[in-house]
Structure 1
């Protein structure tokens, strides 16, 4: 069966696992205004997998 992945909000830890990096790397990208698609909800940073995929495809995730 083909399941459509849900595009719920994920945490920094889940985003890090999804991207194959450590949570501290995600926090550094947020701090450095690296254009990572993150939304602050209350005190927590949240991400959508689809937005992370688009960010990677756009090339904005490349280290300069």
Structure 2
């Protein structure tokens, strides 16, 4: 329950912050939203993310390449 409460208060972050967090280009973040279902919410023209959801997606293999290898954060 505590982790759920923490997630409710977790701040939303931008594409730039996700790219920096993962050490990737912003273009890769946009590509993953479109082609690999990176968890994101659209707010007007902006994409917003919860880093805990992004991390969970990465750990579950969401960013795996075509050879099914996981991308290490």
TM-score between the two structures when normalised by the length of structure 2: 0.72
Q: Which has the higher contact order (CA 8 A, sep 6+)?
A: 1
Which protein has the bigger helix share?
Answer: 2
Which protein has the bigger strand share?
Answer: 1
CA RMSD of aligned residues (A): 1.6
- Point out where structure 2 has 5 or more consecutive residues left out of the alignment: 1-5, 67-73
TM-score between the two structures when normalised by the length of structure 1: 0.81
- Point out where structure 1 has 5 or more consecutive residues left out of the alignment: none
Task: Choose 1 or 2 for highest CA Rg.
Answer: 2
Runs ≥4 residues deviating over 2 A? none
